[in-house]
Chains A and B, each alone.
Chain A
Amino acid sequence: MDFYDWMLALHLLAAFAVAAALVLFSVLVVAGRRMTTLEQTKALFRMGSLGGPLIGIGMGLVLVVGVVLAIDSDDYQLWDAWVIIALVLWAVSGFVGARTGTYYTGVQELAQKSGSEAEVLARLRAPTGVRWHAATVVGFLLLVLDMIFKPWA
């Protein structure tokens, strides 16, 4: 395996880390809407602590290693359309993902501090968080589609 192969493997592993975190959060979002007590909700939030670092490190590595790959490769360049699309989708997904994180961190703080059970459960069932999370997932899916189909390559 040469340098390019190692970087490609790392790029793929980073993408899988992001995908894994998104699946974890998806399960938490769906399960959170079915919770009936504050204790159950707190148990769920304990699981979420892994997802944040995983998605953060994964997104960072995907970008850095992706740029290294584009510079290293003779087959494509940083200014190719599909690479630029990927960079834009990465930024949009990152922004939307951060908004999702802010929403659920707020609910978590409410659950762990002063919030009433009814208020916490209502926020978990509200469509706001689900919509932000769905938008993040769609952004990531578009990124994967762009990586595989490479439009205008």
Chain B
Amino acid sequence: MSALATVRPDDINVALLVHVLGAMVLVGSLLTAAVATIVGWRDEGDTLRRLSYKTLLFAALPAFILMYAGALWTYDKESLDALAEDPRWVEIGFMTADLGGLLLLIALILGGIGLWRSRSGGGRPLLRASGVIAALLVLVYVVTVWAMGGKPN
């Protein structure tokens, strides 16, 4: 993700738009999943825990793919690969995207098992763990958004 408020050639903007929209939906869906888990932590019913997992699966995962594809596309369009080494903000972006992708995958697996077990009355700890990972990812991506905007060297 590059800075929103600098003037760029138009052919980069489409790639950037894909990246930014993916990132926005990703952060929003992770936040939603985290909030659903925290708010519904002690609930007897599984409404919010299920909502948390489904938000991760149907919103966060597609958004992550869109964000990552947009990042690679923007990286290519801006010819950043021609530099001797990546700027720090690009390193932060790819590092948190890769780590975030792995954590999202773990959250989806844990939550999926939890959802399956919830049919027989169990699975709550796994669904909660899935939501906690989503909360952690929100914090990671707040730092990433700051780095993409401020571009620290």
Contact = CB atoms under 8 A, between A and B. Distances in A.
Interface in B50-75: 51, 55, 59
A83 to B, nearest CB: 10
A27 B32 contact: yes
Number of chain A interface residues as a range: 35 or more
A144 B14 CA distance: 12
Nearest to B25: A23
Interface stretch (A13-21, A95-103, A105-113, A114-122): A13-21
A43 B40 contact: yes
B13 to A, nearest CB: 5
B13 A24 contact: no
Number of chain B interface residues as a range: 35 or more
B75 to A, nearest CB: 16
Interface centre among B10, B48, B153 (most CB of A within 10 A): B48
A122 B67 CA distance: 36
Contacts of A6: 150
B121 interface: no
Contact of A21 (B17, B28, B146): B28
B5 A69 contact: yes
A15 B3 CA distance: 12
Contacts of B142: 13, 16
Contact of A23 (B31, B48, B151, B153): B31
A23 B13 contact: no
Interface of B: 3-7, 10, 13, 16-17, 20-21, 23-25, 27-29, 31-32, 35-36, 39-40, 43, 45, 47-48, 51, 55, 59, 142, 145-153
